Structure 1
């Protein structure tokens, strides 16, 4: 009963995101995000609130008086905290053994909040991470959570579950989730987090990649795989949470290829990954080829592109090695040697959406994000809706497309720029407020057609009226503009009936 007891004590202590924000304030919270815990520590030290003590221990990694912890967890007590592996006791002081913090989110099922346990990070320990470190919720975690399709399904595979955060999110949309990992420590954390938050329906299995689910198929696969490109050089740490043990981007390629054998027809996968730009190959197209070669539909979205030095610096710091040290420079040289040997000029990072064939018109899309996507919520819902809309339109010939009514998506706006004194715009831009936040330059004809798409008039009538307004031949205008309109549906700017 110790985990339910811990949950009850955390609830009683109001150990929640909004409460911690109140206790340390906006400025200290922002400093904490930047890796500076001093302002938060000073703010919490002045508070006798139980939530402040818990945050000092399990977020900032500070020690505390045992009487303080006993007061903050009155039902669990010190003995229960030791039994659960939360703390170790040294005299009258307790020291944290893990990171345990509240995590809040909003998805199509509404708002929610969990407590997530993981290993203490470099900010709390002041040392480089252990190679079997179990990562908590970070930027990649929240990105993949947002990327998950929100459609309800029977089964989901969370490949490489880590602390279990994706499995918890997936369970909100699936009746059954299988969560796998090669790390026993990660699975122990994932089980703890599921039980601590009262989430059932998740089965945890130990093993590498798809080995624990051989012969099984799922409606959806989600994965933040250990995609980080790490040189296979002695002395370079191989962190379990990010290094899959293969050279270059072969790990992500294998995850994509394996999805073909583990998705039901029409099943989808949402993954994060890296792909290499080699001197003779475009990385984005290479990533799309992985899926095409496996017989899968694919939509690849590249969010970032880094040169070898920036890539190496990012992941060396991620492991807790500080810039300017001899160890940092040694590892950086190893990374750059590896990239040079394999003729890698850049590394892309982004999202892959895969689908197993099910009789719908196949698709292959590879694009670079035109706007920053950090912190954008609901990308998965946007992509799921856009994909369904694209399927519907792709199945229509031009005559059938002209017969339906399209509607401008509610997040789309139009901006027109004029040269001073000129009545006609020099530039017309359509913008998405959500989703991938695309910005598209369009001509006057396409802007006029889109502006008239209110769900009331068939597309054919709109195209004809715009052609007459612009004094052009509608038969000459129609083929090119229909190609553009199909793309606008696939991009989520326009919605077909019922979308």
Structure 2
């Protein structure tokens, strides 16, 4: 990537920002240009429908920019000059966006609009990254800087947006998590082992007018030795990659350690860099072995750290599927080289006794008080976007209910969350249901099976009666011992509070 001086780059990115704004280069504009079908095809890494759609329309600045920087195709120099009148073709060359001939300009970077909703509201940016295999037509370079993909959108959606003085983005890549963190942190420190990644991340911050990010070169926590933060986020290079066998080592996904040791290493370093009450959020992979459950393995990594932990496993893949997924991700297509790499990955898993790989979300906290949070669960059903506010509310609910004795909880007045519905199934002609299930519309989309007592309790939580009064009434109705019923229901109420089914 060609880089300009700091002063020159600031001036050039300001000009580029004005040009992109003038061209209405946004997600909605591109959707109108090539339509829903072509947009869906692009998400499947197929650009032909979008190319055909753009050819059917007159050339406008947005279509020129999309052709070059989303589809990765050369465009006439005159068209790019018209699309970027303030920056100019020479300015685009100076920023490392393109290489220019006398008549044709070829893109060197991907530059596309990105829109989102987070705890601070609706937003939109332009994000630069390296061209993907759709544009290059081959395997990625090992220092490839990834753009906004599924994993990065997952992490940004999980991000808790509570205000903090200082945040850390560990392994920033193109800078997307640092930019999100900058919306709720006074200062963000963004680190990466790749100088190229930091150059692109710095370009993205400048292009979008974000001034409270500081970029530092180095591995993991080395650039922030002795510093603490209120929030740490990381989409670390967690992909389990064979060591040896001439397997490509991509900066954006491979931390250079054996197996899942990179995620374990990140967890071990968090306590020294979190303020009391500070929260860390990251994505990760963990191995299943013949004698070890994956979530138990993660729980072992957190033991002795002094950190609270809430880990959600979203998916588990067998070694073959995992290998195929990440070989394809590197741009290697089926054939001899694909087969060679496939063998190397399977050999590595077999040698270490790996039977599967889990993927999920990790939320860790440095406790401020004595209430401990330890949850390790599998939730593989469909979920919505924007889990950050739900996680924040769930952690607060956990702390509040955990601090209450059963007597104190019984005095509470609870309500059913507004996104909760109840499903009942009956045998034909039966008066009583055979199956009752609560469904959560938001959050993690949990489904909770009910028995008669819990169904009656949830149905009565309308903000009027105390929990103790509701349990007493149910005990009388069912003709059971009130103390025994309370002992049975209160632990389940605590779980429903943490899950966000019931609220204080």
The two structures have a TM-score, normalised by structure 1, of 0.98
Contact 1:182 1:207 in 2 (8 A): yes
Aligned mate of 2:123, from 106, 112, 122: 112
> What corresponds to 2:6 in structure 1?
none
Distance (whole Å) between structure 1 residues aligned to residue 380 and residue 130 of structure 2: 35
Where does 1:248-267 land on structure 2 (aligned, <5 Å)? 248-267=259-278
Q: Does 1:403 align with 2:393?
A: no
Give the root-mean-square deviation of aligned CA atoms.
Answer: 0.9
Where does 1:199-210 land on structure 2 (aligned, <5 Å)? 199-210=210-221
Deviation at 1:231, TM superposition (A): 0.3
Contact 1:277 1:346 in 2 (8 A): yes
Q: Does 1:218 align with 2:229?
A: yes
Where does 1:301-312 land on structure 2 (aligned, <5 Å)? 301-312=312-323
Q: Does 1:99 align with 2:110?
A: yes
Aligned mate of 2:43, from 15, 29, 33: 33
What 5-or-longer segments of structure 1 have no aligned partner?
A: none
Deviation at 1:214, TM superposition (A): 0.5
Per the alignment, in what secondary structure is the counterpart of residue 54 of structure 1? helix
> What corresponds to 2:470 in structure 1?
462
Contact 2:313 2:380 in 1 (8 A): no
Distance (whole Å) between structure 2 residues aligned to residue 79 and residue 278 of structure 1: 55
Contact 1:288 1:299 in 2 (8 A): no
Distance (whole Å) between structure 1 residues aligned to residue 454 and residue 91 of structure 2: 66
Deviation at 1:35, TM superposition (A): 1.1
Where does 1:291-310 land on structure 2 (aligned, <5 Å)? 291-310=302-321
Q: Does 1:278 align with 2:289?
A: yes
Contact 2:426 2:432 in 1 (8 A): yes
Contact 1:303 1:350 in 2 (8 A): yes
Per the alignment, in what secondary structure is the counterpart of residue 260 of structure 1? helix
The two structures have a TM-score, normalised by structure 2, of 0.97
> What corresponds to 1:421 in structure 2?
429
Deviation at 1:91, TM superposition (A): 2.5
Deviation at 1:336, TM superposition (A): 0.6
Q: Does 1:333 align with 2:343?
A: yes
Where does 1:144-155 land on structure 2 (aligned, <5 Å)? 144-155=155-166
Q: Does 1:174 align with 2:185?
A: yes
Distance (whole Å) between structure 1 residues aligned to residue 250 and residue 148 of structure 2: 16
Deviation at 1:272, TM superposition (A): 0.1
Deviation at 1:2, TM superposition (A): 1.0
Q: Does 1:352 align with 2:352?
A: no
Contact 2:38 2:50 in 1 (8 A): yes
Deviation at 1:422, TM superposition (A): 0.8
Aligned mate of 2:487, from 474, 479, 485: 479
Deviation string, structure 1 residues 187-235 (Cα, Å, up to 9, x no partner)? 0011000000001111111000000000111001100000000000231
> What corresponds to 1:363 in structure 2?
373
Distance (whole Å) between structure 2 residues aligned to residue 412 and residue 137 of structure 1: 32
Contact 2:310 2:375 in 1 (8 A): yes
Per the alignment, in what secondary structure is the counterpart of residue 474 of structure 2? helix
Aligned mate of 1:10, from 11, 15, 20: 20
Deviation at 1:363, TM superposition (A): 1.6
Deviation at 1:370, TM superposition (A): 4.1
Deviation at 1:360, TM superposition (A): 3.5
Q: Does 1:50 align with 2:58?
A: no
Contact 2:119 2:388 in 1 (8 A): no
Contact 2:239 2:285 in 1 (8 A): yes
What 5-or-longer segments of structure 2 have no aligned partner?
A: 1-10
Per the alignment, in what secondary structure is the counterpart of residue 179 of structure 1? strand
> What corresponds to 1:448 in structure 2?
456
Deviation at 1:263, TM superposition (A): 0.4
Per the alignment, in what secondary structure is the counterpart of residue 293 of structure 1? coil
Contact 2:245 2:344 in 1 (8 A): no
Contact 2:309 2:375 in 1 (8 A): yes
> What corresponds to 2:4 in structure 1?
none
Q: Does 1:67 align with 2:78?
A: yes
Distance (whole Å) between structure 2 residues aligned to residue 34 and residue 360 of structure 1: 48
Deviation string, structure 1 residues 99-137 (Cα, Å, up to 9, x no partner)? 000000011221110000000000111111000000000
